[in-house]
């Protein structure tokens, strides 16, 4: 079932979460171990992120450089199929532009349709570590809006390969939104204009980047509505976990901590204290969002479901 249908049928705020495919070498059990503790909260869908491979170049004896994959997370598509099969919940694979030609994207979408997966979150993806800025595949898409167009075209039966007759797909397309603006955007207004383009291209709901200040989310929703974005907007919540998050999350995701939270964070002496604060702040944020009747609260587990479980036990 589509994410938008789950939202339409829901009588109250839904619970959902995102998992990361494990690093190569781990088994599917590591995915199940992350999902099992959260099933009691009746998630209607589970997102599975996609990560590009990371490479190093090693010089061989003959002077040539060998490209070696050092970090690979296997099969988002396969993991989604396994989740749907085991838990009978909808899985939402993340599809990114980076590293893919349009043809490879089309093939991935054909696989998804074949497996009965009718949800996708269409994203651009970030630059890889060896690049300063995002560089699209030479036969791929530069922005998420272009990927969204491609999926919408397939939903209309328009494939790249026109030598075979294929059924139209029926994907429900989600897209990313940034309450504190995307870090590359010139300003929030421009970012929102591009967000609206993604909706016009066929995206049917928005999942936001993490934020720690609910007022930023509420303002973002108001600004979206003012410019005619009327699709469901799902807040994304990430519980703080370690002392490194004090600077890492603001730096990496370009988000601010509200004063009340930063004051408490500075009192934390170790990871355990941050973890506890992360749970308390997550409960506080979630209860307020739920009272505001958001359609769903989406948790970033980052391969750690115990904090999300503690929060969900108080909220759902
Ligand atoms: P876009 O919507 O393409 O926007 C990127 C930037 O370009 C923005 O600054 C926007 O304002 C600007 N822009 C958009 N359209 C145009 C245009 N036509 N002309 C000029 N500028 C334009 N990354 C992963 O690699 N894997 C994942 O699984 C993943 N999951 C995510 C899930 C969520 C909910 C979110 C919020 C992010 C996720 N990301 C993931 C990170 C995401 O890929 C990055 O934030 C990326 O930098 C932007 O992706 P986007 O889809 O928002 O891009």
Residue 97 CB burial class (10 angstroms; 0-12, 13-18, ≥19): buried
In this structure, the chain runs to a length of 316
Beta bridge partners of 174: 121, 205
Would you give the DSSP letter of residue 4?
A: H
Nearest-angstrom CA–CA distance, 190 and 181: 9
94 Cβ inside 6 Å of ligand 1: yes
Residue nearest to atom 41 of ligand 1 (CA): 125
pLDDT digits 0-9 by tens, 126-160: 888 778 889 999 999 999 999 999 999 999 999 98
Q: What is the mean pLDDT of the chain?
A: 93
Q: Is the pLDDT assigned to residue 69 strictly greater than 80?
A: no
Contacts of 195 by beta carbon, 8 Å cutoff, 6+ apart:
175, 177, 206, 224, 229
252 Cβ inside 6 Å of ligand 1: no
Q: Measure 155 CA to ligand 1 centroid, in angstroms.
A: 22
Domain ranges of the chain: 3-239+293-303
Write down the CATH number for the domain with range 3-239+293-303.
3.20.20.220
Q: Measure 172 CA to ligand 1 centroid, in angstroms.
A: 18
Nearest-angstrom CA–CA distance, 155 and 286: 35
Backbone angles phi, psi at 15, to 5 degrees: -110, 130
Of the CA atoms within 13 Å of residue 290, those in its CB half-sphere come to 19
pLDDT digits 0-9 by tens, 180-194: 999 999 999 999 999
pLDDT digits 0-9 by tens, 115-131: 999 999 999 998 887 78
194 Cβ inside 6 Å of ligand 1: yes
User: In this structure, what token pair is assigned to residue 175?
Assistant: 């897209």
126 Cβ inside 6 Å of ligand 1: yes
Nearest-angstrom CA–CA distance, 267 and 272: 12
Contacts of 263 by beta carbon, 8 Å cutoff, 6+ apart:
none
The residue with tokens 């589509």 is 2
Contacts of 102 by beta carbon, 8 Å cutoff, 6+ apart:
139, 140, 141, 150, 160
Nearest-angstrom CA–CA distance, 12 and 201: 29
50 Cβ inside 6 Å of ligand 1: yes
pLDDT digits 0-9 by tens, 220-273: 999 999 999 999 999 999 999 999 999 999 999 999 999 999 999 999 999 999
Q: Are 61 and 109 in contact (CB under 8 A)?
A: no
């Amino acid at each position: 079932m589509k994410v938008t249908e789950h939202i339409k049928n829901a009588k109250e705020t839904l619970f959902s979460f995102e998992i990361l495919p494990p690093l190569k070498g781990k088994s599917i059990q590591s995915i199940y171990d992350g999902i099992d503790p959260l099933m009691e909260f009746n998630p209607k869908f589970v997102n599975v992120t996609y990560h590009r491979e990371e490479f190093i170049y090693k010089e061989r004896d003959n002077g040539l450089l060998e490209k070696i994959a050092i970090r690979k997370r296997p099969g988002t598509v396969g993991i989604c199929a396994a989740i749907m099969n085991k838990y009978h919940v909808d899985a939402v694979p993340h599809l990114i532009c980076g590293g893919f030609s349009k043809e490879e994207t089309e093939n991935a979408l054909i696989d998804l349709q074949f497996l009965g997966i009718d949800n996708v979150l269409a994203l651009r993806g970030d630059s890889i570590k060896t690049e300063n800025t995002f560089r699209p595949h030479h036969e791929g898409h530069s922005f998420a809006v272009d990927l969204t167009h491609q999926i919408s075209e397939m939903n209309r039966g328009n494939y790249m390969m026109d030598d075979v007759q294929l059924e139209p797909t029926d994907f429900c397309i989600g897209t990313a939104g940034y309450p504190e603006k995307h870090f590359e955007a010139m300003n929030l207004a421009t970012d929102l204009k591009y967000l609206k383009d993604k909706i016009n291209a066929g995206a049917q709901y928005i999942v936001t980047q993490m934020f720690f200040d609910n007022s930023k989310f509420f303002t973002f929703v108001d600004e979206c509505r003012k410019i005619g974005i009327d699709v469901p907007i799902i807040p994304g919540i990430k519980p703080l976990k370690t002392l490194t998050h004090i600077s890492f999350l603001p730096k990496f995701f370009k988000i601010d901590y509200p004063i009340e939270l930063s004051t408490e964070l500075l009192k934390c002496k170790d990871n355990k204290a941050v973890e506890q604060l992360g749970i308390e702040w997550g409960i506080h944020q979630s209860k307020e969002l739920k009272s505001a009747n958001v359609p769903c609260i989406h948790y970033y587990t980052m391969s750690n479901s115990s904090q999300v479980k503690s929060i969900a036990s108080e909220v759902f």
